[in-house]
Structure 1
Amino acid sequence: MREIISKEPWWAMPPRPGQDESELDWGWLVHYSEGEPRFEFIKERPTDIEIRNRKSCRITPSAE
């Protein structure tokens, strides 16, 4: 049986240096349990609040 283990806002492509996260294409990274764990990217934009409150997929400031 396929169950969702986690579902997190995630970018479709990593940001370019200096790119603002508002310019990114967002979707959901879904982790399923079915036999071996499996991930799927669903191209459905999370809300701005869901993006801001995400736990992972953070943009780290570059050290200049």
Structure 2
Amino acid sequence: MRQIVSKEPWWAKPPRQGQDESELEWGWLVTYNEGEPRFEFVKQRPSQDEIRNRKSCRITPHE
């Protein structure tokens, strides 16, 4: 049986250098447990709070 293991806000494409995260296309990275973990990107924009409070998919500043 297909079950969702996790669902996290994620960008569709990595940002270009200097690009602000507000300019990115956002969706959900959904992990399913079907024997082997399986990932799917769902093009449904998370709320600004969900994007701001995400645990992963962070933009790291370049020096």
Q: TM-score normalized by structure 1?
A: 0.97
Give the number of equivalent residue pairs.
63
Q: CA deviation at 1:44?
A: 0.2
Q: How does 1:13-28 map to 2 (within 5 A)?
A: 13-28=13-28
SS in 1 for 2:40: strand
Structure with the larger strand share:
2
Distance 2:36 2:61 in 1: 34
Q: Which residue of 2 aligns with 1:58?
A: 58
Structure 1 unaligned runs (5+)? none
| Per-residue deviation, residues 22-43 of structure 1 (Å, max 9, x unmatched) | 0000000000000211000000
1:38 is matched by which residue type in structure 2?
R
Q: CA deviation at 1:45?
A: 0.1
Q: Which residue of 2 aligns with 1:3?
A: 3
RMSD: 0.3
Q: TM-score normalized by structure 2?
A: 0.99
Q: Which residue of 2 aligns with 1:42?
A: 42
SS in 2 for 1:14: coil
